[in-house]
């Protein structure tokens, strides 16, 4: 298995196009697709984990204090967490601000 990012000639393609590194899609950062960014307000947060369970990317993680934050390398800014957070602790802000 080569350490190159992708095969350069057809001879380097694995038989059956097999991929030997599980979860290697994580090398691609989908965060660049984002137009809006979620911001957590930890005063309002009740640590219920709704944002964590509903994130299609699986990029929301719990920190040591039990609060949640998004990994902005992967967050596509869909806004599900902000829409589903019933205490209203998550706000979507423009990426440029």
Pick from 59, 65, 69, 73: nearest CA to 89: 69
Which residue do the tokens 């806004």 mark? 79
How far is the C-alpha of 92 from the C-alpha of 60, rounded, in Å? 15
Contact pick of 69, 72, 79, 91 for other proteins (by CB under 8 A): 79
For other proteins, what does the binding mask look like between residues 26 and 65, x meaning CB under 8 A? xxxxx--x---------xxxxxxxx-xxxxxxxx--x---
Binding other proteins (rule: CB under 8 A), the pick from 87, 88, 93, 95 is 87
Beta-bridge mates of residue 39: 91
Binding site for other proteins (CB under 8 A): 5-7, 17, 19, 21-30, 33, 43-50, 52-59, 62, 71, 73-74, 76-80, 82-84, 87
């Amino acid at each position: 298995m080569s350490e190159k990012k992708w095969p350069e000639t057809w001879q380097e393609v694995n038989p059956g196009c097999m991929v030997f590194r599980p979860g290697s899609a994580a090398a691609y950062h989908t965060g660049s697709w984002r137009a809006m960014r979620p911001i957590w307000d930890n005063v309002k947060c009740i640590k219920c984990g709704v944002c964590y369970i509903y994130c299609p990317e699986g990029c929301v993680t719990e920190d040591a204090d039990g609060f949640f934050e998004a990994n902005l390398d992967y967050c596509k800014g869909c806004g599900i967490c902000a829409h589903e957070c019933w205490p209203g602790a998550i706000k979507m802000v423009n990426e440029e601000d």
